[in-house]
Amino acid sequence: MRAVGAIAGVELRRFLRDRSNIFFTFIFPLLLVVVIGAQFGGGASNGRVLLTEAQSSLGEDLQATLTAADVTVDASTADAAAESLARGRADVAIVITAEDAAAYDAGEPVRVEVIQASTNGAQTAAQRVQTALSELATTRAQLAALTGAGAAPDVATQALEAAEEEVPPLQVDVVDVNEISQAFAGVTGFDVGAASQVLLFVFMAALAGSGTLIDARRNGVIARTLAAPVGTGSVVAGQALGRWTIAIFQGAYVMAGTSLLFGVTWGNLPVALLVLAVFAAVAAGFAMVIGSLLDNEGAATGLGVGLSLVLAALGGCMFPQELFPDALRTVSSFTPHGWGYRAFAEVQRHDAGVAEILPHLGVLAAFALGALLLGSLLLRRSLGRAI
């Protein structure tokens, strides 16, 4: 056990001595989380709409109505709007011409052009635009009717505002018996995304550790360590322990950062940290397998980055696994990310304790144990070949 601790200690010291590692492990993931959080997190809106002739009264009224519905509205020209849509940088463009604006001011029928992008949110955003347009039309019709009946324009506006307050709202109250929406009940904004990011980064950063094992093998450090009364199991355990410590620290750090920056709730914190700890052990184990299997750092990094991205996608860390088709959800059960995701989901959304997520932890622990055993077996075999 002392040998394991000593090897882990050396790994950690080597890691900390390289100051660039500190930047890349702790500052970089948080930067990415901030970028992703700003896109999808708490501040995310109900779609992004571009508007031409934003200075006209039609543009201003439309902007006010859409903003009230939490849609982000930006002024643009028709050409720039077309380009932004083509690049997926906005969901919908409303092209108002000078004639449209004049028709609106004159109280005549208006026909604006609405263009949708091929983004996922475009249809919903287009629906919101439609609603905003009919709201504007209704208010215009009401004002016209009131002034037509003899009310002065400013009196009509005030009366309409007062009546809006007075008449009780009438809208559809949606009752959801849909399993998917219920699975997401209790989560807001960036909660799902933050858990996915933790899993993705912890795994990817830990897999980068396979390079140090290859380096140690190439320089004969492993062979010399094994000349002492230390088994391959201890060497792998020591190396993995070093990686595990870094991974868990990084995960906890991203968790703290997302809570502070985006108000992400992690449920019962000790339980969430336990999930992280077991998942980090899986990641460290995978790093040892790759570090023993491959003899080239470049190939190991390639496999590491690729494997962590593919497993993350299959496990639901890029698109929620609740929305997967059944076959794909079965596939996600064969990835550690899939189980990590489900465990975090239970803890975050349903305040689960250790007992509730015991199956998840068990599967993850089995992944970790299997990877560590395979790693030590492969390390022993790797000693027999030239590097």
Rounded Cα distance, 11 and 244, in Å: 11
Cβ-contact 206, 285 below 8 angstroms: no
Edge-to-edge, what's the strand order for the sheet holding 92-95? 72-75, 48-51, 92-95
Provide the minimum distance between the beta carbon of 10 and other proteins in the complex, in angstroms, as a whole number. 16
According to the binding rule CB under 8 A, does residue 34 interact with other proteins?
Answer: no
According to the binding rule CB under 8 A, does residue 130 interact with other proteins?
Answer: yes
Provide the minimum distance between the beta carbon of 21 and other proteins in the complex, in angstroms, as a whole number. 8
According to the binding rule CB under 8 A, does residue 324 interact with other proteins?
Answer: yes
Rounded Cα distance, 221 and 151, in Å: 92
How many beta carbons lie within 10 A of that of residue 379, not counting itself?
23
According to the binding rule CB under 8 A, does residue 219 interact with other proteins?
Answer: no
According to the binding rule CB under 8 A, does residue 142 interact with other proteins?
Answer: yes
According to the binding rule CB under 8 A, does residue 70 interact with other proteins?
Answer: no
According to the binding rule CB under 8 A, does residue 179 interact with other proteins?
Answer: yes
In the beta sheet, which residues pair with residue 51?
Answer: 75, 94
Provide the minimum distance between the beta carbon of 190 and other proteins in the complex, in angstroms, as a whole number. 14
Provide the minimum distance between the beta carbon of 374 and other proteins in the complex, in angstroms, as a whole number. 19
> Residue 96, SS3?
coil
According to the binding rule CB under 8 A, does residue 292 interact with other proteins?
Answer: no
Q: How many residues does the chain have?
A: 387
Cβ-in-10-Å burial (0-12, 13-18, 19+) of 27 comes to exposed
According to the binding rule CB under 8 A, does residue 354 interact with other proteins?
Answer: no
Provide the minimum distance between the beta carbon of 319 and other proteins in the complex, in angstroms, as a whole number. 5
Cβ-contact 326, 179 below 8 angstroms: no
Task: Find the part of the chain contacting other proteins (CB under 8 A) among 137-145, 245-253, 346-354, 357-365.
Answer: 137-145
According to the binding rule CB under 8 A, does residue 135 interact with other proteins?
Answer: yes
> Residue 50, SS3?
strand
| 109 or 384: CB nearest other proteins | 109
- DSSP H or E segment with residue 299: helix 297-314
| 13 or 366: CB nearest other proteins | 13
Task: Find the part of the chain contacting other proteins (CB under 8 A) among 106-114, 246-254, 262-270, 354-362.
Answer: 106-114
Which amino acid, residue 339? W
Count residues contacting other proteins (CB under 8 A)?
A: 112
